[in-house]
């Protein structure tokens, strides 16, 4: 269920496909209201059609959107249009940690720096009762400014 360039979902105009994973396809898009580039993640129909999904999806999206941390990909919006359930997130330029690791060994300093940033991001999420549940190199984006944890799509809200 791929989107074509130029298609709009509300104020988000699709530019190009940016990637895909187990929890949907991701598109680079233009936010026409705020004039910024965003990432739009389309959730698979099989997931969106599950009973109780909408309630869980909205609850978890609210929890994720409350996370304010330099090393966590920001969730801006959620929506449903033309049969698509979607998330709108910060668009991050860079490469995944998985791609970086495929190029070869990293220095101790680089490894430590990334680890500290992701640990700090996870600490913030855990303090808000949010468990990521899918930590892997493909969900860490490396940018010129550091590392960002992405894809809280499997996250679970833990209420203590």
The answer as to whether 149 is a domain residue is yes
Location of structure tokens 């099989």: 46
The answer as to whether 49 is a domain residue is yes
Per-residue pLDDT of 101-119, as tens digits, reads: 999 999 999 999 999 999 9
- Separation of alpha carbons 47 and 78, rounded Å: 15
The answer as to whether 3 is a domain residue is no
Average pLDDT, the chain: 87
Where does 97-158 show beta strands of DSSP type E? Answer: 130-131, 140-143, 146-149, 156-157
How many domains is the chain built from? 1
Own/partner contacts of 13-19, CB < 8 Å, gap of 24 or more, are 14/40, 18/91
The answer as to whether 102 is a domain residue is yes
Sign of CA dihedral 107, 109, 113, 116: positive
107: CATH: 1.10.510.10
- Just list the catalytic residues: 134
The answer as to whether 150 is a domain residue is yes
The answer as to whether 67 is a domain residue is yes
Most confidently modeled of 46-50, 52-56, 130-134? 130-134
| Of residues 55 and 157, more confidently modeled | 55
Q: How confident is the model at residue 71 (pLDDT cuts 50, 70, 90)?
A: very high
Q: How confident is the model at residue 141 (pLDDT cuts 50, 70, 90)?
A: very high
Q: What is the pLDDT of residue 134?
A: 82
Counting residues of the chain whose pLDDT is more than 90, the rounded percentage is: 59
List, edge to edge, every strand of the sheet that includes 8-9.
8-9, 12-21, 24-31, 36-42, 84-90, 75-81
Q: What is the pLDDT of residue 158?
A: 52
The answer as to whether 2 is a domain residue is no
Q: How confident is the model at residue 127 (pLDDT cuts 50, 70, 90)?
A: very high
Q: What is the pLDDT of residue 151?
A: 80
Q: What is the pLDDT of residue 122?
A: 95
What domain range includes position 66? Answer: 8-157
Q: What is the pLDDT of residue 63?
A: 74
- 8-state DSSP, 139: G
């Amino acid at each position: 269920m791929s989107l074509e360039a130029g298609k709009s979902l509300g104020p988000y105009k699709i530019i190009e496909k940016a990637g895909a994973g187990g929890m949907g396809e991701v598109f680079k898009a233009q936010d026409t209201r705020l004039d910024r580039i965003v990432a739009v993640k389309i959730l698979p129909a099989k997931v969106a059609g599950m009973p109780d999904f909408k309630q869980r999806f909205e609850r978890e999206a609210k929890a994720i959107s409350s996370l304010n941390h330099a090393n966590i990909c920001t969730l801006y919006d959620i929506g449903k249009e033309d049969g698509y359930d979607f998330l709108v997130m910060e668009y991050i330029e860079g490469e995944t940690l998985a791609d970086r690791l495929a190029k070869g060994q990293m220095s101790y300093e680089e490894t430590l720096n990334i680890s500290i940033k992701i640990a700090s991001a996870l600490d913030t999420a855990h303090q808000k009762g949010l468990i990521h549940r899918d930590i892997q190199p493909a969900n860490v984006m490396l940018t010129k400014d550091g590392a960002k944890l992405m894809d809280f799509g499997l996250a679970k809200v833990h209420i203590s």
